[in-house]
Structure 1
Amino acid sequence: MRIAVIADIHGNVLALDAVLDDLRSRGGADLTVNLGDCVSGPLWPRETMERLQALNLPTVRGNHDRRVAQDTADETMWPSDRYAQERLTPAQRQALLALPLTLEIAPGVTAFHARPDHDEKYLADAIVDGQLVRAPLTAIRRRLKPLDPACRLVLCGHSHRNELIHIPGGPIIFNPGSVGCPAYDDDTPPAHVSEQGSPHARYGIVELGKDGSPSRFESIAVDYNHEAAAKQAEQAGRPEWAQALRTGFIKD
């Protein structure tokens, strides 16, 4: 079985289309799973949602999907979530809210956005000196405890950082990186940044062997018209997003 894994599109329909085109050029996949945070961002939330609804992919709910789905905006709502909320229909917002926290993609293969029991806390990351870094193994093990012990493969996103971690005596964790948001600045204490280090659209492919065990992983970075995405962010009044889209970094 060949599984394509996409995550953290954040309304970047140009990056999404580039990833889907690249996947087709590689022969496609038996299944494509979407790990959430679909539309939040100053780009093309409605167009992205329409594209995803047409694809009807197995999808889990991200923290920004939940926030965008709120009925009303207030001063606590992040600008990217408000931008998307204002451009989606009520039915589209309801569709985001209805997404599950976790999905069993195949026997022993579990997908979620951040952690199996929370859509906003990091699984494999820690915050050190304002940057995301690999968390200690003991912390990752503790965060995986809600999983079924039979789980062999975890598919997750949220950090926007590509990761492949084999937990000794436990599952493999695969994070494909972000399709549409290569860097972000989170001022929630403790404030930190995540930076992929290039503007490419990221996704992954996992192959399962005949016994269902993961046998091969590909982490793929696709070039696309990131300058057009950056200009869209600038038009929306978000220069920091434009910087991230152009470079994969928050600051020069």
Structure 2
Amino acid sequence: MRIAVLADIHGNVLALDAVLEDLRRRGGAELFVNLGDSVSGPLWPRETMERLQALNLPTVRGNHDRRVAAGPHDEMWASDLYARERLTAAQREVLFTQPLTLEIAPGVIAFHARPDDDEKYLADTVVNSQLVRAPLAAIRRRLKALDPGCRIALCGHSHRAELIRIPDGPIIFNPGSIGCPAYDDSTPPAHVSEQGSPHARYGIVTLDGAGQPDLFEAIAVDYDHEAAARQAEHAGRPEWAHALRTGFMSG
């Protein structure tokens, strides 16, 4: 069985469509999962939400989904507010009621950031203002809330593609971000996450006949990122435009 793993679309419907077309060319998948943060960003939140609702994918709630749906107006980040103003009340309700975790196949559990928190990093830490892989001991501690029967943990949030096998534990797979290749976060300690290229990222997990992981693929797809960058500029977000063009926050 092939599982298509989508994460962190952030309102970039052009990148989402490119990923779906690439997946079609590769023969599709029997199961899909969306790891959240679907619409927040100065791009096409309404169009992205409509596309995802038509697909009706199993989806978990990300921290920005929660903020867009129910965050106090005066505390919302600019990207969340942009999306909130362009979604219907019914669409916001859909975002808010998505589950924090979801078992999409036996032993395969999906969540956005951590199994018990939609905003704290699972496999990452901040070093010199940059997201890097966290020490194994820290990752183990953060997995304590995970169901002990989990064999594969699918997560997003950091926008960094990762594949980590925990000794005597699950395999953690983060496919990277479809629609937002770099971001900065002022939450202490302030940091950036940079994929290093403008490509849309997604993943495919292949399970063998016994349901065991046989293949993990982290895929980078080219798309019209220049059009996405121009949309961000039109929305008054030059830093987003730079990230969409380059995969970096500076330079």
The one-letter amino acid paired with 1:127 is V
CA RMSD of aligned residues (A): 0.7
The Cα shift of 1:53 comes to 0.2
The one-letter amino acid paired with 1:119 is D
The Cα shift of 1:72 comes to 5.3
Match of 1:147 in 2: 146
Gaps of 5+ in 2: none
SS in 1 for 2:73: coil
The Cα shift of 1:80 comes to 0.1
In the TM superposition, what whole-angstrom CA distance separates every residue of 1:173-232 from its partner, at most 9, and x where no partner exists? 000000000000000111000000000000000001122111101110000000000000
The one-letter amino acid paired with 2:117 is H
The Cα shift of 1:70 comes to 1.7
TM-score by length of 1: 0.99
CA distance in 1, matches of 2:120, 2:147: 19
The one-letter amino acid paired with 2:113 is A
Structure 2 counterparts to residues 1-252 of structure 1, below 5 A: 1-70=1-70, 73-74=73-74, 76-252=75-251
CA distance in 1, matches of 2:142, 2:10: 25
Query: Identity over aligned residues, as a percent?
Result: 80
The one-letter amino acid paired with 1:90 is A
The Cα shift of 1:147 comes to 1.1
In the TM superposition, what whole-angstrom CA distance separates every residue of 1:135-185 from its partner, at most 9, and x where no partner exists? 000000011011111110000000000000000000000000000000000
In the TM superposition, what whole-angstrom CA distance separates every residue of 1:55-86 from its partner, at most 9, and x where no partner exists? 00000000000000027511x21000000000
Aligned residues: 251
In the TM superposition, what whole-angstrom CA distance separates every residue of 1:114-144 from its partner, at most 9, and x where no partner exists? 0000000000000111000000000000110
The Cα shift of 1:45 comes to 0.1
Change (3 A) 1:243 1:71: closer
CA distance in 2, matches of 1:248, 1:160: 11
The one-letter amino acid paired with 2:169 is G
The one-letter amino acid paired with 1:231 is R
Gaps of 5+ in 1: none
Detail structure 1 runs of 4+ shifted over 6 Å in the superposition: none
CA distance in 2, matches of 1:95, 1:81: 15
CA distance in 2, matches of 1:204, 1:90: 31
CA distance in 2, matches of 1:249, 1:131: 11
SS in 1 for 2:70: coil
SS in 2 for 1:18: helix
CA distance in 1, matches of 2:128, 2:72: 35
SS in 1 for 2:20: helix
